[in-house]
Protein backbone atom coordinates (compact mmCIF):
# COMPACT_ATOMS: atom_id res chain seq x y z
CA UNK A 1 0.00 0.00 0.00
CA UNK A 2 1.21 3.49 -0.79
CA UNK A 3 0.26 6.91 0.59
CA UNK A 4 1.19 9.36 -2.19
CA UNK A 5 1.86 13.07 -1.83
CA UNK A 6 1.88 15.71 -4.59
CA UNK A 7 5.65 15.17 -4.90
CA UNK A 8 4.96 11.57 -6.00
CA UNK A 9 3.16 12.52 -9.23
CA UNK A 10 5.29 11.05 -12.02
CA UNK A 11 6.73 8.37 -9.73
CA UNK A 12 6.64 4.70 -10.78
CA UNK A 13 4.49 2.18 -8.90
CA UNK A 14 3.85 -1.56 -9.14
CA UNK A 15 0.27 -2.92 -9.29
CA UNK A 16 -0.49 -6.42 -7.97
CA UNK A 17 -3.98 -7.91 -8.25
CA UNK A 18 -5.51 -9.79 -5.32
CA UNK A 19 -4.31 -13.15 -6.66
CA UNK A 20 -0.75 -11.86 -7.00
CA UNK A 21 -0.62 -13.25 -10.55
CA UNK A 22 -0.93 -10.01 -12.50
CA UNK A 23 1.84 -7.50 -11.93
CA UNK A 24 2.11 -4.28 -13.89
CA UNK A 25 4.22 -1.14 -13.60
CA UNK A 26 2.84 2.34 -14.16
CA UNK A 27 3.31 6.02 -13.41
CA UNK A 28 1.19 8.11 -11.04
CA UNK A 29 -0.60 10.93 -12.87
CA UNK A 30 -2.80 12.12 -9.96
CA UNK A 31 -4.67 10.91 -6.88
CA UNK A 32 -7.58 11.73 -4.60
CA UNK A 33 -8.88 10.50 -1.24
CA UNK A 34 -10.03 7.18 -2.73
CA UNK A 35 -7.85 6.30 -5.74
CA UNK A 36 -4.44 6.73 -7.30
CA UNK A 37 -4.61 7.36 -11.06
CA UNK A 38 -1.88 5.39 -12.81
CA UNK A 39 -0.83 5.27 -16.50
CA UNK A 40 0.11 1.66 -17.29
CA UNK A 41 2.34 0.62 -20.20
CA UNK A 42 2.15 2.91 -23.19
CA UNK A 43 -1.44 4.00 -22.46
CA UNK A 44 -2.28 7.68 -22.37
CA UNK A 45 -5.27 7.30 -20.04
CA UNK A 46 -4.80 6.77 -16.30
CA UNK A 47 -6.67 4.00 -14.47
CA UNK A 48 -8.15 4.52 -11.00
CA UNK A 49 -6.30 2.07 -8.75
CA UNK A 50 -6.76 1.30 -5.06
CA UNK A 51 -3.82 2.37 -2.88
CA UNK A 52 -3.76 -1.08 -1.26
CA UNK A 53 -2.97 -2.69 -4.65
CA UNK A 54 0.11 -0.51 -5.25
CA UNK A 55 3.69 -0.49 -4.03
CA UNK A 56 6.56 1.82 -4.91
CA UNK A 57 8.83 0.84 -7.79
CA UNK A 58 12.55 1.30 -7.32
CA UNK A 59 13.18 1.95 -11.01
CA UNK A 60 14.06 5.35 -12.43
CA UNK A 61 11.35 7.15 -14.48
CA UNK A 62 13.51 6.90 -17.63
CA UNK A 63 13.80 3.08 -17.52
CA UNK A 64 11.56 0.76 -19.54
CA UNK A 65 8.40 -0.61 -17.92
CA UNK A 66 7.64 -4.31 -17.77
CA UNK A 67 4.25 -5.94 -17.24
CA UNK A 68 3.78 -9.68 -16.86
CA UNK A 69 1.06 -12.19 -15.98
CA UNK A 70 1.63 -15.42 -14.07
CA UNK A 71 -0.38 -18.64 -14.31
CA UNK A 72 0.44 -21.78 -12.38
CA UNK A 73 3.59 -20.19 -10.95
CA UNK A 74 4.98 -19.44 -14.43
CA UNK A 75 5.21 -16.19 -16.36
CA UNK A 76 2.86 -16.53 -19.34
CA UNK A 77 2.80 -13.03 -20.77
CA UNK A 78 5.43 -10.26 -20.87
CA UNK A 79 5.01 -6.74 -22.22
CA UNK A 80 7.98 -4.38 -22.50
CA UNK A 81 7.04 -0.71 -22.77
CA UNK A 82 9.74 1.74 -23.73
CA UNK A 83 9.71 5.20 -22.14
CA UNK A 84 8.56 8.10 -24.33
CA UNK A 85 11.29 9.51 -26.55
CA UNK A 86 12.30 13.14 -26.37
CA UNK A 87 12.88 15.15 -29.57
CA UNK A 88 16.33 15.81 -28.08
CA UNK A 89 17.13 12.07 -28.35
CA UNK A 90 17.64 12.41 -32.10
CA UNK A 91 16.45 10.04 -34.85
CA UNK A 92 15.49 6.44 -34.09
Q: pLDDT by residue (tens digit) across 69-82?
A: 556 655 555 555 55
The pTM of the full predicted model, rounded to 2 decimals, is 0.64
How far is 34 from 3, CA to CA, in rounded Å?
A: 11
Q: Which of 35, 38, 44 is nearest to 11 (CA)?
A: 38
Domain regions of the chain by residue span:
6-84
Q: What is the pLDDT of residue 68?
A: 56
Quickly name the fold that domain 6-84 has. SH3 type barrels. (2.30.30)
Could you tell me how far CA 2 lies from the centroid of its own chain?
A: 13
Amino acid sequence: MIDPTPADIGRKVIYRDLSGRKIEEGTISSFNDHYVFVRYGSGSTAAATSRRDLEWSHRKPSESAIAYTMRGGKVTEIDFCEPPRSPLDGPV
